Amino acid sequence: MRLLARYVDIETLIDEEHNTISFSGDLETFKWIISQTNLQGMMQDVKACTRIALGISAYVSPFLGEILQFIFDGKQLTLECCGMKNVYGCTLLRNLAWNMHHCLRQFGMAPQELPESLRTIRAKPLEGPLYRLLEHTLSFMEILVAAGSELHEPSASLARFEGRSYITWGTPLLYLVKLEVSHSFVESSLRGTIASCDPIAATSIPSVYTWLDQLKHTGIDLNAYGHGEENFLRDHACFPYFYCWQHTTGQEEYIWLRLVSFTYGPEPGDWIFYMTEVMENWFVEFWDMVEHPERKIPGAWSVDDNNEDEVSGLNGRDPQYFWESVVPKLYKEEFGREYRPYE
């Protein structure tokens, strides 16, 4: 980049509308880019810093933790900053959790190594780049939680099942479960050790265990936190399904798993997630009608329960318009309260 800078206007890296930058490299390169652009002046304001951080955290990088610490060095994160979202409806905490998941997989850290590794990171000077990068990520996560980040903040994602589009709402924890359970299920099915509906313990899914362990280390009561997640799963009528590759019979098979419930306790090891295979739409609709006889009244059952027209409209519209305009509207219609868009 330094070689090309003499031929390319480095300022074009900046999104002038949102005063942000897309970047997934190391800290030293980031510092150099800052020194060559007008972002250096913008970074005096904590809200501008948050916009920059939201742009960077949308990309996976093992250096994200230390870059975020550099951006906010000497600045006080506010509750408003913690609640700001990027154009995809994600907060800094949600993006950092996503980045942590990918880093743990990239590092290849086995689940059984995690408890000791996390204790090592917190108890003595770090050795090796892996521990240093993970420590920066966890440290900034602690800063975000202490600053008042909403742990149950809903972020939206778009998914398709049986030809239909769905908006699914998830907290950082549910998002990590969605990311991890597919990998965990694939690896276990390759060994032939689990069936599709076997319980999955948090101790076997690294980023979920790390997330819970870090919250406990930060002072969060995991019992109360679990109760909040349980309420979210119930109140938001989530459709948290996972597209999994099964390889138990020597043949590739794709199945849909759905999170139906979980148990929780004061320790990360107490958390267990229960999955089931997703039923076909016609089967779900039949039992939904049985449980809700009032919908037999003509006109009582909307054929557009999932706002299919608006959700499918993403294909023909600007994605930013969809996430900033359509998603908040659907959220308010469904839950009767405001969904905070990008600020």
Which of 238, 275, 235, 272 minimizes the C-alpha distance to 258?
A: 275
Q: How far is CA 62 from CA 101, 188, 202, 272, in A?
A: 10, 26, 23, 28
- pLDDT digit string, tens, across residues 243-254: 555 545 555 555
Q: Rounded to an integer, what distance in angstroms lies between the CA atom of residue 339 and that of residue 117?
A: 38
- pLDDT digit string, tens, across residues 9-68: 666 666 555 556 778 888 998 888 888 777 777 788 898 889 889 888 888 888 999 999
- pLDDT digit string, tens, across residues 128-140: 777 788 889 999 9
Specify the pairing of strand 272-277 against strand 253-263.
Answer: antiparallel
Residues 6+ apart with CB under 8 A from 124: none
Is residue 189 scored above 50 in pLDDT? no
Q: How far is CA 243 from the centre of its chain?
A: 16
Q: What is the pLDDT of residue 164?
A: 62
Q: How far is CA 248 from CA 178, 182, 254, in A?
A: 21, 15, 11
Is residue 232 scored above 80 in pLDDT? yes
